Structure 1
């Protein structure tokens, strides 16, 4: 091996270790401090670690993988409970908003939600004022912001986002036109169309969890009775 090849391999190894360290620190910041923006989390992690090499910045999917591992190790009990509570809240919220064809997206659907996470829903209406009016008519105070989403790799668009709390759980609604039911915005993690689920699919997920827990309990009881 030439000296140049040795230096190149050494540099790649160092960069890979830095990527892992940044991903792990970004996951910790997201889990413990409620940071939900992947880009912000990795920049803050790199700053805290004193790593200034842009080549060492991990991809969003690497951070998501590190986040799942962090939750498994450090929040093995509390995170599944927080996730369950938010999925149950999502089912109720989607029934409430059923007139707007709601779809669950984000961490609650993907399984990485914790006590800091909002229930993120896409709702659909050709009239951007219809959803705010609906919330107002039901006495629900909400905040409003503008959200920029990538519809394709080359095109972005701005949409109204509404935030409110229900029974101690945050909700985040993005109001989209009906044609966005056919073409989901791109996910910030893998740049593929966002995975979305309707109310029936989320309820099925909860039912599957119940069955799995029942099976685990029955197996544990059988084992203890031997």
Structure 2
């Protein structure tokens, strides 16, 4: 094998090992951030060259594979419970056209994954009002999202616990329903699911 080809193969092997280790850390240690998982995996495997780090999509694929192989029943139960809580919360907040996103929708949620819902209202205070009237003890939060064209926005939201699960409500402007932020996994517009689809997933 030519030297160039052998180096490429070696780098690919390192990336695969790092992706597997990062996925293991995300599952066993509840790490939700891809960058942190990569860094810790690199430390554990004594890899210092950043050019050999795997992509988020590669880690996500390893994550799904590990869950399918090592804990199929547990993972199915976990995702089902999270989707049920998500659907109930979406029903309560139907006025704001909620959409489920992230690992709970994709089915790769770990024990540390929150339920992330995108809501749409020009006044975030209106969401806070509904939560207050429902007797929900919430905290204000913010999340940073990337959009196409390298645009970055800090979007307001609220977090609370329901049925023992952490829920993030991210409140976009009403016209935000037309443009989803980019997924940290593949840098494509996030997949968003309305309540009808979430309940269909529960039946499946």
- Asked if these proteins are the same fold (TM beyond 0.5), I'd say yes
In 1, Cα distance between equivalents of 2:129 and 2:45: 46
Cα shift at 1:136: 2.1
Deviations 1:104-133 (Å, cap 9, x if unpaired)? 000111111133221110011101222123
Q: Give the structure with higher Rg (CA).
A: 1
In the alignment, structure 1 residue 37 sits paired with structure 2 residue 36? no
Instruction: Determine the structure 2 residue equivalent to 1:181.
Output: 177
Instruction: Determine the structure 2 residue equivalent to 1:72.
Output: 68
- Where does 1:25-64 land on structure 2 (aligned, <5 Å)? 25-64=21-60
Output the TM-score relative to the length of structure 2: 0.95
Cα shift at 1:141: 1.3
Cα shift at 1:11: 1.4
Cα shift at 1:161: 2.6
Instruction: Determine the structure 2 residue equivalent to 1:122.
Output: 118
Indicate the SS of the match to 1:164.
strand
In 2, Cα distance between equivalents of 1:110 and 1:24: 19
**Of 90, 93, 96, the match for 1:97:** 93
Cα shift at 1:206: 1.5
- Where does 1:186-205 land on structure 2 (aligned, <5 Å)? 186-205=182-201
In the alignment, structure 1 residue 135 sits paired with structure 2 residue 131? yes
Aligned residues: 204
Maintained 8 Å contact 1:79/1:115: no
Q: Which runs of 5+ in 2 are unaligned?
A: none
In 2, Cα distance between equivalents of 1:82 and 1:70: 15
Cα shift at 1:163: 1.3
Output the TM-score relative to the length of structure 1: 0.86
In the alignment, structure 1 residue 87 sits paired with structure 2 residue 83? yes
